[in-house]
Amino acid sequence: MNSKTYEQLRNDPDLENLLGQTLLRDDLLVEILGDEYHEILYWAGKRLGRKYRLANYESLSVFFKQFGLGDLTLVKQGKNQLDFELTGKIIESRLLQNDDPDFQLECGLLAQFVEYILNRQSEAEISKINAKKGLVSINVLTSSEPPLDGQESDEIFKLITEETNE
Task: List, in sequence order, every residue forming a beta bridge with 139; answer none if it has no partner.
Answer: 83, 125
Residue 135 has pLDDT above 90, yes or no: yes
Residue 166 has pLDDT above 80, yes or no: no
Domains of the chain as residue ranges with CATH:
3-147 (3.30.1380.20)
Burial of 9 (0-12, 13-18, 19+ CB in 10 A): buried
Residue 126 has pLDDT above 90, yes or no: yes
Mean pLDDT, the chain, integer: 90
**3-class SS of residue 91:** helix
Q: Of the ranges 44-48, 83-87, 131-135, 151-155, which one carries the lowest mean pLDDT score?
A: 151-155
H helix runs in the chain, sequence order: 3-10, 19-23, 29-33, 37-51, 57-66, 89-97, 104-118, 162-165
Residue-level pLDDT at 16: 84
Q: What is the mean pLDDT of residues 46-56?
A: 91
Provide the whole-model pTM.
0.88
Please list, residue by residue across 87-119, b when 16 or more beta carbons sit within 10 angstroms of its beta carbon and e when fewer do: bbebbbbbbebbeebbbbbbbbbbbbbbbbbbe
In this structure, are residues 41 and 108 in contact, taking their beta carbons and an 8 Å threshold?
yes
Cα distance between residue 43 and residue 67, in whole Å? 18
Pairing status of strand 71-77 against strand 122-130: unpaired
Residue-level pLDDT at 157: 82
* Percent with pLDDT over 70 in the chain: 93
Residue-level pLDDT at 95: 92
* Percent with pLDDT over 90 in the chain: 61
Residue 7 has pLDDT above 60, yes or no: yes
pLDDT band at 114 (very low <50, low <70, confident <90, very high): very high
Secondary structure in 3-state letters for 43-55: HHHHHHHHHCCCC
Residue 162 has pLDDT above 80, yes or no: no
CA proximity to 124, closest of 137, 147, 145, 108:
108
Of 13 and 105, which is predicted with more confidence?
Answer: 105
Residue-level pLDDT at 150: 63
Residue 84 has pLDDT above 70, yes or no: yes
Phi and psi at residue 76, in whole multiples of 5°? -160, 140
